[in-house]
């Protein structure tokens, strides 16, 4: 679960404080429908999929497949401020809920590579961003708020923007990115926004981590605690899907 902060009218407030996880659902075999606010399950014996409806009391349901999930129901809507939720799939630990056999947290100095791959499905008529949410902390934290949040926005629709302000552009992984920096009241945030929508990509998460290292107080003594991929909807969202996701720590 991930609780965000509605502390300003800046459209996108990335992962902030979350309510504590009270339990983990059994591993998904066939498709599994999750409507509980912070409901979760595991897929592939390796990843956790969470509904994580932290910013709305309206119903949201996700249909979890063997390789990802699809937003099945989204009854909430907001015109500004924080998003409604962050349904996502992840490797690592998130508010005490760790993926099976998780290799994270791990100190950055002990990570040679963190390869990841994603395939998204986008739909029209919605306001959202599609984002990786990568968490780092000075300690090997498995619960509570991490001090640094790195977001990679693969797509954004409806005028939403990251927390903070734009500080420039950079090239990572052969692509050009807008760079935004700020603080949501609970943690620092560095966001990388794609110049155009990316529906699928395989890349090294450490390429982005190293850029954050150069820009902020993060150094190699810090820990990578989770790699997450999903959506932040403000309105609509039915049909948005993570078709597949993988992450490997080397």
User: Would you please indicate which residues are annotated as catalytic (active-site) residues?
Assistant: 149, 232
- For the chain, helix, strand, coil in percent to 5 are 5, 45, 50
Is 243 exposed, middle or buried (CB count within 10 Å of its CB: 0-12, 13-18, 19+)? middle
**Rounded-to-integer distance, Cα 78 and Cα 96, Å:** 29
Q: Output b/e per residue, 10-19; b: 16+ Cβ within 10 A.
A: bbbbbbbbbe
What would the two tokens of residue 224 be?
A: 């990578």
Is 171 exposed, middle or buried (CB count within 10 Å of its CB: 0-12, 13-18, 19+)? exposed
Give ∠ CA 201-77-32 in degrees, rounded to 5: 55
**Rounded-to-integer distance, Cα 44 and Cα 120, Å:** 18
Complete DSSP assignment for 35-87: -STT-EEEETTTEEEE----S-SS-EEEEE-SS-EEEEEE--B-SSSS-S---
């Amino acid at each position: 679960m991930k609780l965000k902060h509605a502390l300003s009218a800046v459209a996108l407030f990335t992962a902030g404080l979350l309510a504590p996880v009270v339990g983990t659902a059994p591993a998904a075999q066939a498709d599994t429908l999750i409507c509980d606010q912070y409901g979760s399950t595991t897929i592939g014996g390796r990843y956790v999929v969470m509904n994580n409806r932290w910013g709305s009391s309206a119903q949201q349901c996700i249909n979890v497949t063997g390789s990802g999930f699809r937003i099945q129901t989204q009854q909430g809507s907001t015109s500004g401020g924080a998003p409604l939720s962050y349904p996502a799939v992840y490797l690592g630990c998130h508010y005490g809920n760790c993926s099976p056999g998780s290799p994270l947290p791990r100190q950055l100095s002990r990570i040679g590579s963190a390869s990841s791959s994603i395939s998204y499905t986008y739909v029209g008529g919605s306001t959202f961003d599609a984002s990786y949410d990568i968490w780092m902390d000075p300690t090997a934290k498995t619960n509570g708020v991490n001090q640094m949040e790195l977001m990679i926005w693969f797509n954004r629709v409806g005028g939403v923007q990251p927390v903070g302000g734009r500080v420039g552009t950079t090239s990572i992984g052969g692509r050009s990115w807008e760079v935004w920096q700020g603080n949501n009241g609970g943690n620092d945030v560095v966001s990388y926004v794609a110049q155009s929508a990316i529906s699928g990509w395989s890349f090294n998460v450490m390429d982005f981590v190293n850029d954050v290292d150069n820009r902020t107080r993060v150094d190699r003594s810090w820990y990578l605690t989770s790699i997450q991929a999903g959506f932040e909807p403000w309105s609509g969202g039915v049909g948005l899907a993570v078709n597949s996701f993988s992450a490997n720590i080397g």
